[in-house]
């Protein structure tokens, strides 16, 4: 069975609009959805990923939260990703910027930290090559 994730970007101003979309299809899919409390501090989330197999990663939170991979915020995390509320983090195997996650250090777990007084929701979606 294969999974397809569509990554879409859209721009608009007045009556003008631009849109682009690309499908990423592979045999593996990971989905993580976690509710976090206000002032969550290093909330551990079970998640593992061989980043060399990832084709598309999408993360979003309803409140600002920092995602640390493999270790807590005071330790030595492999990746530190500050998510702004409702602004998704998107990384694909063919993006224009230097990879933050794909092709770097494998992920063994996640930690979420946020300092706001409002609880929120964290969502992560990954499509990856499961045949390796």
Domain ranges in the chain are 26-128
pLDDT of residue 38: 94
pTM value is: 0.92
pLDDT of residue 79: 94
pLDDT of residue 66: 96
Q: Which residue has the higher pLDDT, 115 or 16?
A: 16
Q: Are 84 and 64 in contact (CB under 8 A)?
A: yes
pLDDT, tens digit (0-9, with 9 covering 90-100), for 53-111: 999 999 999 999 999 999 987 789 999 999 999 999 999 999 888 888 988 999 999 99
Question: Is the per-residue pLDDT at 49 higher than 80?
Answer: yes
As a whole number, mean pLDDT of residues 1-24 equals 97
> DSSP labels for the chain?
--EEEEEEEEEEETTEEEEEEEEEEESEEEEEEEEE-TT--SEEE---B-GGGEEEEEEEESS-EEEEESS-TTS--S-EEEEPTT--EEEETT-SSPPSSTTSSPBS-EEEE--SSS-EEEEEEEEE----
Q: What is the distance between the terminal CA atoms of the chain, rounded to a whole angstrom?
A: 15
Please give the class, per CATH, of domain 26-128. Answer: mainly beta
């Amino acid at each position: 069975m294969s999974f397809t994730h569509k990554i879409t970007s859209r721009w608009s101003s007045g009556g003008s609009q631009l849109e682009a979309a690309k499908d990423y299809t592979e045999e593996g899919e990971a989905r993580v959805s976690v509710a976090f409390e206000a002032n969550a501090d290093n909330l551990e989330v079970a998640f593992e990923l061989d980043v060399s197999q990832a084709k598309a990663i999408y993360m979003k939170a309803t409140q600002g939260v920092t995602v640390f991979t493999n270790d807590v915020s005071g330790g030595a995390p492999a990746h530190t990703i500050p998510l702004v509320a409702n602004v998704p983090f998107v990384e694909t195997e063919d993006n224009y910027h230097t990879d933050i996650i794909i092709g770097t250090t494998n992920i063994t777990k996640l930690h979420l930290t946020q300092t706001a007084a409002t609880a929120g929701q964290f969502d992560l979606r990954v499509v990856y090559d499961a045949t390796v």
